[in-house]
Amino acid sequence: MSRIFLMLIRRDLLLARKQGGGSLLSITFFVLVVSLFPLGVGPAPETLERIAAGTIWVAALLSVLLSLDRMFQADLEDGSLDQLALLPLPLSLVVLAKTIAHWLTTGLPLTLAAPLLGLLMQLSPDAYGALIAAMLLGTPILSLIGAIGAALTVGVRRGGVLLTLIVTPLYIPVLIFGVSAAEAAAQGFSYSAHMLFLSAILSGAIVIAPIAAAWALKLALD
């Protein structure tokens, strides 16, 4: 069972590599959105420093949102979703494997790119550790909650817009704790409470999201 699970993650990583562009597109979008802010609010370093963490998080959230609609849609379109549902593995674990692969190709690269954007946005040097730690905990949550939205809207007309509408409100706690962790660190406060909240949400999401998404996927298969 765990062999199949790992094989499934490798499958999605292989497909992401072969079909190409997925991660690169997300990162490009991420950088693009962040670089809009200095153009929008002006390049004054103190202004940028003030909004740096928030901007980076909002942009990361949007990049993840943008990548979600392909999570199950491609497999539905070519009939692979049927084959995945018929693996001798519970559908919720299939979802979890695909979510992990999604995070490895989206959330993780975004987290790795974040320090670079921190430089562009004059992020306070004290905040880098908190930003990356919070993103490492927070972006998997985005993938997990996103999986529910993606599963609910797979095969639905105008699914992409609907997906955004459904998922964005559910992302708010991650945004709040993620940004305030970096802000606390910038002001020299401890950010361990933020990390604990993010960990708590992550643990809850790991349990609930695959099950809810599997329920939703069954609707698309029926």
Partner 1 sequence: MHRFANPTRFLRLAAAVLPFSAAVAALCLGAGLVWGLFFAPPDYQQGDTVRIMFIHVPAAMMAMGVYAGMAISSGIALIWRHAVADLIAKASAPIGATFCFICLLTGSLWGKPMWGTWWVWDARLTSMLIMLFIYLGYMALWQAFDDQTKAARAAAILALVGAINLPVIKFSVEWWNTLHQPASLITMSGPKIHASLLWPLLLMIVGFGAYYLTVLIYRVRAEIHLRRTRMLRLAQADRHAAMQAAE
Partner 2 sequence: MVDAPVLHGRNLAALRGERLIFAGIGFALERGGLLKLTGRNGAGKSTLIRMIAGLVAPFTGSLLWNGAEVGLDREGFLADLIYAGHQDGLKTALTATENLDLFARLRGTSDRDAVAALESFGIAELADLPVRYMSAGQRRRVSLARLRMTPARLWLLDEPLTALDVGAITQLGRVVDAHRNAGGMVIAATHADLPGEAGDVLEIVPPADADMDDGMEDAW
> Which residue among 86, 172, 193, 196 contacts partner 2 (CB under 8 A)?
86
Binding site for partner 1 (CB under 8 A): 148, 152-153, 156-159, 162, 165-166, 168-170, 172-173, 176-177, 180, 183, 197, 201, 204, 208, 212, 215-216, 219, 222
Residue number, 99 or 180, with CB nearest to partner 2: 99
> Which residue among 32, 45, 83, 172 contacts partner 2 (CB under 8 A)?
83
CB 60 within 8 A of CB 114: yes
Answer with the entry of partner 1, partner 2, none that 202 interacts with (C-beta below 5 to 8 A by kind). Answer: none
8 is an interface residue for partner 2 by CB under 8 A: yes
Contacts of 201-208 with C-beta under 8 Å, sequence gap 24+, read 201/141, 201/173, 201/174, 201/177, 202/137, 202/138, 202/140, 202/141, 202/144, 205/140, 205/141, 205/144, 205/145, 206/96, 206/140, 206/144
Token digits of residue 93: 């674990």
Contact footprint for partner 2 (CB under 8 A): 3-4, 7-8, 11, 14-15, 18-19, 78-80, 82-83, 85-90, 221-222
